[in-house]
């Protein structure tokens, strides 16, 4: 197996990928970075990711950025961990929906709420409205134990990380559905190791 290089800065979105690696149990080479020192804006890292964001991984000569995309790639690349839903399986659509709902809807709604931005009319917003997003996620996680039922998958890593952060910074309410779901996630040894 080709070595995976993981460009990681603690206390950033790269914690999502760190948790994913722990769930997979595959070897990787960690390149630790400090956002405070500006490592992500130095020429060496900008050659890897010109946007200067973390996380990024390099595997088989390809660099992948964006936490959800990395998780999708890793889940498909290492199917033995069963963190993906195979193409052609009926639940594949739900798997993809929840994998990308966090960064495209939930995270954007949280940022707007956390920064006290005035609500944009739902037809002009990239995610609709905050209350609908929060309610949609609450409905999804209460069916459980995981987003796709009994199978823990990559979307649980991505959405679970977003919920943890959002409730911690008070950009999301500590709804009973969220706290019960997060309680189930926090019992996972891989999540515990990633911290």
Mean pLDDT, the chain, rounded, equals: 92
> DSSP code of 153?
-
Residue 138, number of CB atoms within 10 A of its CB:
17
Q: Pick from 145, 164, 160, 148: which is nearest to 82 by CA?
A: 148
- Non-local (6+) Cβ contacts of 189 within 8 A are 22
Residue 101, number of CB atoms within 10 A of its CB:
22
What is the helix (H) or strand (E) element at residue 56, kind and residue range? Answer: strand 56-59
The pLDDT confidence band at residue 106, using thresholds 50, 70 and 90, is very high
List, for residues 130-148, the tens digit of each pLDDT value: 889 999 999 999 988 999 9
């Amino acid at each position: 197996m080709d070595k995976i290089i993981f460009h990681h800065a603690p206390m950033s979105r790269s914690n999502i990928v760190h948790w994913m690696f722990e769930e997979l149990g595959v070897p990787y080479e960690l390149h630790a970075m400090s956002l405070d020192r500006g490592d992500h804006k130095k020429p060496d890292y900008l050659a890897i990711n010109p946007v200067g964001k973390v996380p990024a991984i390099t595997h088989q000569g390809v660099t992948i950025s964006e936490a959800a995309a990395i998780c999708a790639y890793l889940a498909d690349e290492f199917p033995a961990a069963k963190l993906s839903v195979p193409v052609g399986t009926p639940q594949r659509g739900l798997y993809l929906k929840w994998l990308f709902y966090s960064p495209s809807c939930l995270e954007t709604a949280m940022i707007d709420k956390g920064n006290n931005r005035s609500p944009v009319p739902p037809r002009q917003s990239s995610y609709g409205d905050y209350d609908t997003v929060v309610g949609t996620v609450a409905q999804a996680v209460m069916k459980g134990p995981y987003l796709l039922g009994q199978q823990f998958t990559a979307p649980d890593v991505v959405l679970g990380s977003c919920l943890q952060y959002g409730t911690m910074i008070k950009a999301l309410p500590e709804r009973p559905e969220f706290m019960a779901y997060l309680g189930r996630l926090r019992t996972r040894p891989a999540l515990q190791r990633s911290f």
